[in-house]
Structure 1
Amino acid sequence: MADRSLLDEHRSRPGLMLALLGNEAMRRLRDAHTAHGLSPRQFELLGLLHDRGPLGQTELGQLMGIAPSILVTQLNPLETEDLIVRERDQADRRRHVVALTDTGRTRLREASKAQHEAEDALFAKLTATQRQQLGRLLTVIRDDLTNGDDKCASPASLEEQQPK
């Protein structure tokens, strides 16, 4: 019997499988977000506003790990679509505060539901216990790679790596 081919050996390696599955998962999640008019980065931005409430524009950019000029390119279309509002801080007129609107909250909820459906389809062959176990294992790997700073798993960083 011949030895397994080098290609077959590498196809079954966890690193390559994770990379290939990661590409497919990102494509499906991006499709779920864009079906609702959001990029993964915009989904993250709206999610931060949902979870933390109104944030200063500078703080929002820092949380997302993006430059102010890039943040503005994300905020402008969201503001045009009435998904967010930007207002000057009454205590510090130099500071802009970004808040989620009711329309933004609705859009985020719809995109979130679509993301859950995409994940359910992606993991359809796994039991609930297996999904929890996979989540725990991936968290261990992520935390080891990032020393717990959670930066490597942001949708914004994933979006930057994908071809347009």
Structure 2
Amino acid sequence: MTSLPVVNQPPHRCGALLDHLARRLRLRSESVLAPLGLRPRHLIALTVLRDQGGSSQQDLAKILEMDGTNVVGLLNDLETENLIERRRSPVDRRRHIVELTDVGAKLLARAEFALAAVEDEVFSGLDEEQRETLYTLLQQVTTTTNMEACTEAATRPC
């Protein structure tokens, strides 16, 4: 019997595991958002509007890193369901300010509770302290990566 040669193993890499977890989270998230009539891009827009207290369409397009035409379509979807409202800016009548409606805020809260259950399912192998550590590490990496991206592309909003 011949023995296999000893091969040095590279250090552990997280990319494939993160991709796998992200895919699992995305699929489960889409399945709980669909009955609410939401898609992930709707959820992100609603979250930004809630967290910022409203936004101009142009600023929202920058934050979401979407083309202005696509943002208009997204906002049309949300407005049709009475989740957002657009009104003329009092400062610049050529611009629209987009704000979350009460209906939108309530639906966003329901979606966030549903997504919390998805995270509980996907991260069930971690206790609360481990989840908090994971969150802190992911937030650290995200912040560092965003700052590097902004440094490399000075025209991109940070």
Return the TM-score normalized by structure 1: 0.77
Residue 93 (structure 1) aligns with: 93
Deviation of 1:14 (Å)? 2.7
CA 65–143 in structure 1, closer or farther in 2 if over 3 Å, else same: same
CA 148–52 in structure 1, closer or farther in 2 if over 3 Å, else same: farther
Structure 2 unpaired stretches of 5+: 151-158
Deviation of 1:115 (Å)? 0.8
Structure of higher RCO (CA pairs closer than 8 Å, 6+ residues apart): 1
Q: Structure 1: how far apart are the matches of 2:5 and 2:24?
A: 30
Of stretches 64-73 and 27-36 in structure 1, the one that deviates more from structure 2 is 27-36
Counterpart contact for 1:54–1:100, Cα < 8 Å: yes
Q: 1:64 is aligned with what amino acid?
A: L
Q: Structure 2: how far apart are the matches of 1:23 and 1:98?
A: 31
Deviation of 1:29 (Å)? 1.9
Q: State the superposition RMSD in angstroms.
A: 2.5
CA 115–71 in structure 1, closer or farther in 2 if over 3 Å, else same: same
Whether 1:41 aligns to 2:47 is no
CA 3–109 in structure 1, closer or farther in 2 if over 3 Å, else same: farther
Q: 1:30 is aligned with what amino acid?
A: E
CA 43–14 in structure 1, closer or farther in 2 if over 3 Å, else same: same
* Aligned residues between the structures: 146
CA 143–2 in structure 1, closer or farther in 2 if over 3 Å, else same: farther
Q: Structure 2: how far apart are the matches of 1:28 and 1:57?
A: 30
CA 146–51 in structure 1, closer or farther in 2 if over 3 Å, else same: closer
State the identity %.
Answer: 33
Question: Per the alignment, in what secondary structure is the counterpart of residue 35 of structure 1?
Answer: helix
Q: 1:17 is aligned with what amino acid?
A: L
Q: 1:83 is aligned with what amino acid?
A: L
Q: Structure 2: how far apart are the matches of 1:102 and 1:48?
A: 15
